[in-house]
Amino acid sequence: MTCIACPQGCFLEVETDGTSVIGLSGHKCSRGAVYARQEIEAPVRTLTTSVLARGMDLKMLPVRTSGPIPKGKLAEAMDAVKRITITSPVKAGAVVATDLLGLGADLIATRSLNKL
């Protein structure tokens, strides 16, 4: 598999017993080992998208999850994000929604939103 922990994209040779990693080669740093285990045992992704804003200086506020969430939950998370509308100022880094879908990650603003 290809490691995507960073843009280098190392090609990893991974040996598994079906559910977990038993052998690994090809990684150039320790993040490769963490990635391989994660990807085989429970793949996760950080979601980035934008949230609708009303009456503010931006029409859309860019957001990210504070940590990675299960890959299989991305679509559900998008549905939850689409139900949000922001109508008051937000600072970059502030929490827009706590514990999205109970997955343990908050939704964080990646840019400041100000009054018009």
Tell me: does residue 23 bind other proteins (CB under 8 A).
no
Tell me: does residue 50 bind other proteins (CB under 8 A).
yes
**Which residue's CB is nearer to other proteins, number 48 or number 88?**
48
Chain length of the chain: 116
48, containing H or E segment: strand 48-53
Pick one of 21, 24, 37, 62: the residue that binds other proteins (CB under 8 A): 62
Rounded to whole angstroms, the Cα distance separating 5 from 116 reads 38
Shortest distance, CB of residue 112 to other proteins, whole angstroms? 8
Tell me: does residue 112 bind other proteins (CB under 8 A).
yes
Taking Cα atoms as reference points, which of 72, 66, 69, 76 lies closest to residue 98?
A: 66
Whole-angstrom distance between the N-terminal and C-terminal Cα of the chain?
47
Shortest distance, CB of residue 45 to other proteins, whole angstroms? 7
| Per-residue tokens: 43 | 């793949």
Residues at the interface with other proteins (CB under 8 A): 2-4, 6-7, 9, 45-50, 52, 58-60, 62, 64, 71, 74-75, 78, 92, 110-112
